[in-house]
Amino acid sequence: MGETVNFQDVIKKSMLHLEAFRSISYVDMLLGLACAFAIGLFIYWIYRKTFRGVVYSYNYNVSFVLMTIITALIIMTISTNIVLSLGMVGALSIVRFRTAVKDPLDIVYMFWSIAAGIASGAKMYPLALFGSIVIGLTLMWLSRRKIKEQSFLLIVRHNEEAATELRILLRKLDTKLKSKTVRKDFTELTVEIKLRDDNTAFMQTINEIQGVHDTSLINYTGDYAQ
């Protein structure tokens, strides 16, 4: 008889848990996921417009959309039950991401996706939408300011004959020395130069110097290693 009572208690507790999970309505679920999806697409568009790196990754950008939706889904799930929320926090605490993030700005987009997902899952739709608009406009404004002046790495290979004339020309271009490699036949010089437009006529001037072998110009993202 005691075993029957225990079994009934288990059934009652299970029904109580099911009722707790039903505390969130279908309307709230649809609104939360729709809001997270819309903000995720907005983050996707802003990242694509403001990307100034070397190689654009479509999969990395799409992950922001999915991260926003998944975060909203997690928040809606744990908001229905306190016990489940504690278990979810413990489960998420053991997750480790091994992907290296080269651009510090990418971390901002990650936090933006997570914050928007939390606000959407917590039914704070005006905060999620208005906050995302402010962040997006700020990133657009800052990216436009960055376009006006970009950093590049100018790599010049030359011999000793061109050293003096090349040094005078690079001083006029307001460059900063990054590295210098001296070999038996030639010297490789790497300098940082800032350009306000796409005018690269100075490269032809450098190539015309007697003793210069070749000249290369690459985009400088800040992760250059000597």
**Tens-digit pLDDT profile for residues 63-80:** 999 999 998 988 888 776
Complete DSSP assignment for 131-186: HHHHHHHHHHHHHHHHHTSEEEEEEEEE-GGGHHHHHHHHHHTT-EEEEEEE-SS-
Residue 139 lies in a domain: yes
Domain holding 171, by residue range, is 150-219
Q: Within a 13 Å sphere around the CA of 194, how many CA atoms are in the beta-carbon half?
A: 7
The verdict on 172 and 128 lying in the same domain is no
17-26, long-range: CB < 8 A, 24+ apart = 17/81, 20/80, 20/81, 21/80, 21/81, 23/80, 24/76, 24/79, 24/80
Segments in the chain below pLDDT 70: 1-24, 53-54, 80-101, 145-149, 197-198, 220-226
Q: Give the angle 60-63-69 at the CA atoms, nearest 5°.
A: 165
Q: Which of 147, 173, 202 finishes a domain?
A: 147
pLDDT of residue 55: 75
Residue 90 lies in a domain: yes
Q: Which of 147, 173, 188 finishes a domain?
A: 147
The verdict on 22 and 134 lying in the same domain is yes
199 SS3 class: coil
The verdict on 11 and 45 lying in the same domain is yes
Cα–Cα distance measured from residue 47 to residue 45, given in angstroms and rounded to the nearest whole number: 6
The verdict on 47 and 14 lying in the same domain is yes
The verdict on 186 and 206 lying in the same domain is yes
pLDDT of residue 224: 45
pLDDT of residue 125: 92
Cα–Cα distance measured from residue 72 to residue 78, given in angstroms and rounded to the nearest whole number: 10
The verdict on 89 and 76 lying in the same domain is yes
pLDDT of residue 116: 93
The verdict on 28 and 91 lying in the same domain is yes
Residue 59 lies in a domain: yes
The verdict on 27 and 109 lying in the same domain is yes
User: Where are any strands of DSSP class E within the chain?
Assistant: 150-158, 176-182, 187-195, 212-219
Task: Provide the number of structural domains found in the chain.
Answer: 2
CATH number at residue 184: 3.30.70.260
pLDDT of residue 89: 59
pLDDT of residue 25: 77
The verdict on 24 and 54 lying in the same domain is yes
Query: In the numeric block, which tokens belong to residue 33?
Result: 């996921």
Smallest Cα–Cα separation from 45: which of 174, 118, 133? 133
Phi, psi (rounded to 5 degrees) for 54: -85, -50
Smallest Cα–Cα separation from 206: which of 156, 150, 146? 156
